[in-house]
Amino acid sequence: MALNYHTYKEIRQQPRVWKEAYKIVLSRKEEIKSFVDKYLAEGYEIVLAGAGTSAYIGDALEPALHKTRFKGAHALATTDIITYPDHYFDPTSKVLLISFARSGNSPESVGAVKTVEKYAGSVAHIFITCNENGELARMKGDNILTVLLPPETNDLSLAMTSSYSTMYLVCSLIANIHNIENQEESIDILSECVRKAMDRYEDDIRKMASMDISRAVFLGSGTLRGVAEESSLKLQELTDGQIMCAHDTFLGFRHGPKALVNSKALLIYLLSPESRVQPYELDLIRQIKGGCGAKGYILVCRKAPESLDSSYWDLCVETGLPEGFPGYYGGVAYVFVAQMLGLFKSIAYGLNPDSPSVSGNISRVVEGVKLYI
């Protein structure tokens, strides 16, 4: 039974944990505001850093934060920081490095901090982490702000689920720290909508997981491209690579990657809530349905588009978020579909979703990385 796995519990706890995370940020408003104000006033460049799922948080947030005080922030994987630091930093660089880390113990998390401090002229840090005992959480200094998430977000399972979504939201809350009191309503709406959607669609997603597929493609635009990136990893790692996954934008998919689609492929569309973006995405959905012959289709959206009928999908998951809901919160409403799909597909394959890697090729905390700093 899925209920007996940590992975299932960590997926389902997300709406509740998001509310707890909001309270943590709210309780530290003045401290966080003072820290952020200081470095933004001094012109520090914001870099969103992490590895794997933690890097994908930055990829999703980079376009989402453009309407906040973190406008201009850019995502940079810690794996790139470590290998090519001189491409990104020099003695004139002033960097506010926001590090996302579930455990805070991966070699790249710690290595990126040391690398940026070595190559950049001036550095300040915001550590958003789930583990109070991790190496990042133990680092201290006047230039360091550590924001610890609720302990439940330190997922016990291999796959990052509640850690991913909660770190995403906490960064967005920090970007809105000046009016943090006004953000509670958005977090409450998000939590309630996702809770209801999980209840409504869990059995349908379980049925989709029984399909005979060998590959899956997640498509999204803007912020949802980053969410598609994380979604593809979730399904692939929870099935121990038995389902090969890819991600792309709707427009980019035509330029070669569409060759991935065959009779064993599942296509998952993360439909933009923005009216100016949707027409491009709906055109591709029509085109694919007309000639690509995939095994199945899932549409994840705020609300099903009126211009398409249900023949274009096998399952339509509506998040129920209100029109105009901010993407720096709303993006996480789409990821639970891939999380649940990966969970149920893992079980269908006879794997343990809490530890799906039979060979041990992947582990909860990355191993085998030697740093040369």
**pLDDT number for residue 367:** 59
Give whole-number Cα distances, 93 to 81, 98, 118, in Å: 14, 15, 11
Question: Burial, 42: exposed, middle or buried (Cβ in 10 Å; 0-12, 13-18, 19+)?
Answer: exposed
**pLDDT number for residue 259:** 86
Residues 150, 209 within the same domain? no
**pLDDT number for residue 368:** 57
Residues 171, 205 within the same domain? no
Residues 161, 291 within the same domain? no
Q: Which residue type sits at 250?
A: F
**pLDDT number for residue 363:** 54
Give kind and range of the element (H or E) at residue 132.
none
Dihedral of alpha carbons 98, 135, 155, 112, sign: positive
Residues 113, 260 within the same domain? no
Asked if the model's pLDDT at residue 228 lies above 80, the reply is yes
Residues 321, 289 within the same domain? yes
Percent of the chain residues past pLDDT 90, beyond the cut: 88
Question: In this predicted model, what pLDDT tens digit does every residue of 96-154 receive, in sequence order?
Answer: 999 999 998 888 888 999 999 999 999 999 999 999 999 999 999 999 999 999 999 99
Asked whether residue 45 is domain-assigned, the answer is: yes
Structurally, the chain folds into a number of domains equal to 2
C-alpha–C-alpha distance, residues 54 and 64, integer Å: 16
**pLDDT number for residue 366:** 55
Give whole-number Cα distances, 335 to 194, 200, 234, 260, 352, in Å: 10, 15, 9, 22, 21
**pLDDT number for residue 372:** 67
Q: Tokens for 258?
A: 């569409």
> Would you give the DSSP letter of residue 235?
H
**pLDDT number for residue 99:** 98
Domain with 97 in it: what CATH number?
3.40.50.10490
Asked whether residue 24 is domain-assigned, the answer is: yes
Q: What is the mean pLDDT of the chain?
A: 94
Supply the range of the domain harboring residue 32.
Answer: 2-175
Residues 17, 145 within the same domain? yes
Helix (H) and strand (E) counts in the chain: 13, 10
3 vs 151, higher pLDDT: 151
Residues 84, 16 within the same domain? yes
**pLDDT number for residue 5:** 95
Residues 109, 252 within the same domain? no
Asked whether residue 9 is domain-assigned, the answer is: yes
- Sheet containing strand 215-219, edge to edge, reads 244-248, 215-219, 265-270, 296-301, 315-318
Question: In this predicted model, what pLDDT tens digit does every residue of 290-325 receive, in sequence order?
Answer: 777 789 999 999 999 999 999 999 999 999 999 999
Can you tell me the mean pLDDT for 84-94? 97
∠ CA 89-84-64 to the nearest 5 degrees?
65
83 vs 108, higher pLDDT: 83
Asked whether residue 353 is domain-assigned, the answer is: no
Can you tell me the mean pLDDT for 192-209? 98
Asked if the model's pLDDT at residue 257 lies above 90, the reply is no
**pLDDT number for residue 183:** 98
Residues 225, 170 within the same domain? no
Can you tell me the mean pLDDT for 18-26? 98
Residue from 299, 267, 253, 230 nearest 57 by CA: 230
Residue 234 confidence class, pLDDT cut points 50, 70, 90:
very high
Asked whether residue 191 is domain-assigned, the answer is: no
